[in-house]
């Protein structure tokens, strides 16, 4: 009886709010949870719709999608930052992207800066359990092309093709080659372990140049950034197409490239794995902001979009860090909820385990 009376009083109060043109969300916040059914009857609003009105974007997406399952693609992570294992179920073939394992340091300009994966960012996967048809490296920085991690993976899985963006292409000139040779450690290992995959260079007809690994075809899309060489890896397969750009995208895609991507995705999903964080090194902004990434995503309109490389699990050290502290290495991150609000129909989550209900599952072996 007391419950009914309380609900009656609350509902009459809400009736006054409704008459003042309050929104459904504002009305719902006026009610206790145990009065929702009575309120739904009064307003002739489906109960589930009323419950959903108070959900966050992440909660709504989580109720309707399964992170890591995109058509015939199966996406899994090898760490909680940016190492991916992607399988095309139609061909039962897979690729590993940017392997970076626990206990393997990345050296930038010798000892000027070091980066290492923290134990919280490592899911404890036995390296020997990882099977793949090949390894794709997004760029030559040592937390992406990490030679110690790659060498351990190859030792465990036998030799597989390694496709690298190292010294993107000869026309990038001496400056890029110098940065590669002196800026990052393990240069000789990189050169020995990998094969350069081509720039896509789409024709007016939308045809692309690819390097093949079994069912997968790989090329490097877009113009290189002068300082770092960030570009987007484009992968085509019988399961669809993948765009992979851990540090975001530095330039809009050309019309020829957009036409080529459109041809690849006919009847198949386009999955974009693109970083949204902004990186500052030594006080210099070296990646684009989320606002620019939004523009590019609106341009390509992927079927599914995953954030990556939030750099939340990095232990940073080296001479620069000792002298300058956090100003030597700073990352501005966009909250998962804000990313979701920007792309409520495409956002599927990230590898991160921090404040993230849309977690891509961990690789569990073949």
Query: Across-strand partners of 85?
Result: 76, 96
Asked if residues 39 and 50 have their Cβ atoms less than 8 Å apart, the reply is yes
Residue 5, Cβ density class (10 Å: 0-12 exposed, 13-18 middle, ≥19 buried): exposed
* pLDDT tens for each residue of 304-314: 999 999 999 99
178 contact partners, CB below 8 Å, separation of at least 6: none
Q: Is residue 166 within 8 Å of residue 188, measured between CB atoms? A: no
Residue-wise pLDDT for 320-343, tens only, equals 888 888 778 899 999 999 999 999
Instruction: Count the Cβ atoms, other than its own, within 10 Å of residue 297.
Output: 21
Task: Characterize 27-38 residue by residue with b for buried, 16 or more Cβ atoms within 10 angstroms of its Cβ, and e for exposed.
Answer: bbebbeeebbeb
Give residue 288's pLDDT band: very low, low, confident or very high (50, 70, 90).
confident
Q: Residues 233-242: pLDDT tens digits?
A: 999 999 999 9
For the packed helices 255-264 and 290-300, what is the interaxial angle rounded to 10 degrees? 60
CB 160 within 8 Å of CB 154: yes
* Three-state SS at 317: strand
> pLDDT (tens digit, 9 = 90+) per residue, 141-189?
889 989 899 989 988 766 788 888 655 444 455 555 555 555 555 556 6
At 19, the pLDDT band (50, 70, 90 cuts) reads very low
Distance of CA 153 to the CA centre of its chain: 22
Show the tokens assigned to 221.
């899309």
Cα-to-chain-centroid distance, residue 166: 21
pLDDT at residue number 21: 45
Q: Per the confidence metrics, is the pTM higher than 0.85?
A: no
Distance between CA atoms of residues 210 and 217, nearest Å = 5
Rounded to the nearest 10°, the torsion over CA 323, 325, 329, 334 is: -170
End-to-end Cα separation, the chain, in angstroms: 59
Structure tokens at 150: 């790659």
What confidence category does residue 228 fall into, taking pLDDT thresholds of 50, 70 and 90? very low
Looking at residue 183, the DSSP 8-state letter turns out to be: I
Higher pLDDT, 14 or 241: 241
The string of pLDDT tens digits covering residues 28-38 is 444 444 454 55
CA 203 to chain centre: 28
Residue 46, burial from CB neighbour count under 10 angstroms (0-12, 13-18, 19+):
exposed
3-state secondary structure of 242: strand
């Amino acid at each position: 009886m007391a419950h009914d009376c309380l609900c009656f009083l609350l509902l009459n109060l809400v009736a006054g709010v409704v008459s003042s043109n309050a929104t459904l969300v504002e009305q719902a916040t006026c009610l206790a949870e145990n009065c929702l059914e009575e309120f739904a009857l009064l307003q002739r609003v489906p109960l589930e719709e009323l419950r959903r009105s108070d959900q966050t974007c992440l909660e709504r997406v989580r109720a309707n999608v399964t992170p890591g399952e995109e058509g015939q693609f199966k996406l899994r992570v090898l760490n909680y930052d940016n190492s991916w294992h992607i399988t095309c179920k139609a061909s039962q073939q897979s690729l590993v992207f940017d392997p970076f394992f626990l206990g393997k340091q990345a050296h930038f300009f010798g000892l000027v800066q070091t980066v290492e994966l923290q134990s919280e960012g490592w899911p404890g996967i036995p390296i020997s359990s990882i099977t793949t048809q090949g390894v794709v490296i997004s760029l030559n920085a040592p937390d992406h092309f990490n030679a110690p991690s790659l060498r351990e993976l190859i030792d465990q899985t036998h030799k597989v093709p390694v496709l690298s963006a190292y010294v993107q292409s000869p026309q990038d000139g001496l400056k890029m080659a110098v940065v590669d040779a002196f800026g990052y450690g393990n240069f000789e290992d990189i050169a020995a372990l990998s094969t350069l995959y081509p720039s896509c260079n789409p024709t007016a007809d939308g045809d692309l140049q690819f390097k093949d690994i079994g069912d997968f075809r790989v090329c490097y899309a877009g113009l290189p950034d002068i300082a770092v060489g960030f570009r987007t890896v484009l992968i085509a397969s019988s399961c669809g197409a993948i765009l992979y750009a851990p540090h975001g995208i530095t330039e809009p895609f050309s019309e020829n490239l957009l036409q080529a991507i459109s041809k690849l995705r006919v009847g198949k999903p386009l999955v974009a794995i693109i970083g949204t964080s902004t990186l500052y090194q030594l006080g210099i902004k070296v990646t684009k902001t989320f606002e620019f990434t939004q523009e590019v995503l609106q341009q390509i309109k992927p079927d599914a979009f995953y954030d990556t490389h939030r750099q939340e699990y990095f232990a940073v050290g080296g001479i620069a860090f000792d002298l300058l502290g956090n100003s030597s290495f700073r990352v501005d991150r966009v909250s998962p909820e804000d990313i979701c609000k920007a792309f409520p129909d495409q956002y599927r989550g990230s590898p991160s385990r921090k404040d993230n209900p849309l977690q891509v599952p961990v690789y569990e072996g073949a």
